């Protein structure tokens, strides 16, 4: 294990962190402090595990850096002891930066920044750096798929630049992109919300659905369980079920984050 930003050695300042961990409520994780995890089947990669069930999430998020010749040799999402895709785990990968060759079952996709791929359960996802000597960075997600009779999810790949920009809830300064189809076969979606400086949510949300959000650009003031926290590009936020949440964009840049949200399933008792 090492530290992701290689910020090691004698401290240059007092030891402090913006990270806040409130299990089963919310977590703010800043880049300083993130570690590199060695996982089976990931070669020439730095893998950082973000939200997990230990934090209160029903999913797992990761940051993945593929270095030169970096790739996974067993499917992302496969169980530790297996070499094949888990039959009940869905996976998603988004290219933050660089170029990646992604394989989803029999299909191959060449992904640039903003490109993404979704694999339904049982479909093997492989990722390989296609950026030569330069690294590529990805945001990954996996979760146990909840089937519903008569519906299924398919492989999806696209680039966010090709997606419709939707005015979010009647506000022209907040733009939403839905990365996956809004169909009953999908039990979750991945979205990107982008706030122009000064824009905000229309209200503080309180909902059952969980989010894992990675901030792609800009800065914001974010309300998590009524704590107002400064957040910025590179931060990761976990919002558990019912966590109060809303944000204002501050500064000069568009405040934008990619996030997961479970959907389309009734609560089982």
193 binds, among ligand UGY, Mn ion, none (CB under 5 to 8 A by kind): ligand UGY
Which is nearest to 209 in space by CA: 252, 238, 178?
Answer: 238
Asked if 225 is part of the footprint of Mn ion (rule: CB under 5 A), the reply reads: no
Q: How far apart are CA 157 and CA 118, in angstroms?
A: 6
Secondary structure, 3-state, 190-240: EEEEEECCCCECCCCECCCCCEEEEEEECEEEEEECCEEEEEECCCEEEEC
Query: Which residue in the set 67, 196, 261, 264 belongs to the binding site for ligand UGY (CB under 6 A)?
Result: 261
Q: Using an 8 Å Cβ cutoff, are 55 and 65 in contact?
A: no
Comparison of 142 and 201: residue with beta carbon closer to Mn ion: 201
Comparison of 67 and 196: residue with beta carbon closer to ligand UGY: 196
Q: How far apart are CA 154 and CA 144, in angstroms?
A: 15
Rounded to 5 degrees, φ, ψ at 183 are: -125, 150
Comparison of 21 and 166: residue with beta carbon closer to ligand UGY: 166
Query: Which residue in the set 112, 178, 205, 253 belongs to the binding site for Mn ion (CB under 5 A)?
Result: 205
How many positions of this chain bind ligand UGY (CB under 6 A)? 6
Query: First and final CA of the chain: distance in angstroms?
Result: 40
By CB under 6 A, the residues from 184 to 203 that bind ligand UGY are 191, 193
Comparison of 47 and 249: residue with beta carbon closer to ligand UGY: 249
136 binds, among Mn ion, ligand UGY, none (CB under 5 to 8 A by kind): none
Q: Which residues bind Mn ion (CB under 5 A)?
A: 205
Q: Which residues bind ligand UGY (CB under 6 A)?
A: 191, 193, 205, 211, 245, 261
């Amino acid at each position: 294990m090492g530290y992701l930003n290689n910020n090691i050695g004698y401290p240059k300042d007092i030891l402090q962190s913006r990270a806040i961990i409130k299990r089963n409520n919310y977590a703010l994780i800043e880049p300083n402090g993130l570690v590199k995890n060695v996982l089976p089947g990931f070669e020439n990669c730095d893998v950082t595990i973000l939200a997990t069930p230990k934090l209160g999430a029903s999913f797992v998020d990761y940051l993945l850096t593929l270095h030169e010749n970096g790739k996974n040799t067993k499917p992302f999402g496969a169980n530790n002891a297996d070499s094949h895709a888990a039959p009940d785990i869905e996976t998603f990968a988004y290219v933050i930066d660089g170029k990646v060759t992604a394989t989803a079952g029999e299909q191959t996709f060449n992904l640039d920044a903003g490109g993404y791929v979704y694999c339904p359960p049982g479909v093997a996802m492989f990722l390989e750096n296609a950026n030569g000597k330069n690294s590529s960075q990805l945001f990954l997600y996996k979760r146990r798929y909840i089937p519903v009779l008569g519906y299924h999810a398919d492989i999806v790949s696209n680039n966010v630049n090709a997606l419709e920009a939707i005015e979010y809830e009647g506000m022209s300064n907040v733009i939403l992109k839905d990365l996956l189809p809004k169909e009953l076969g999908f039990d979750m979606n991945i979205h990107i919300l982008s706030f122009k400086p000064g824009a905000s949510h229309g209200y503080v949300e309180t909902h059952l659905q969980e989010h894992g959000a990675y901030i792609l650009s800009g800065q914001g003031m974010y309300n998590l369980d009524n704590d107002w926290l400064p957040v910025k590009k590179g931060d990761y936020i976990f919002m558990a079920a019912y966590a109060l949440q809303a944000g204002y964009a501050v500064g000069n840049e568009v405040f934008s984050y990619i996030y997961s949200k479970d959907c389309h399933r009734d609560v089982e008792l």
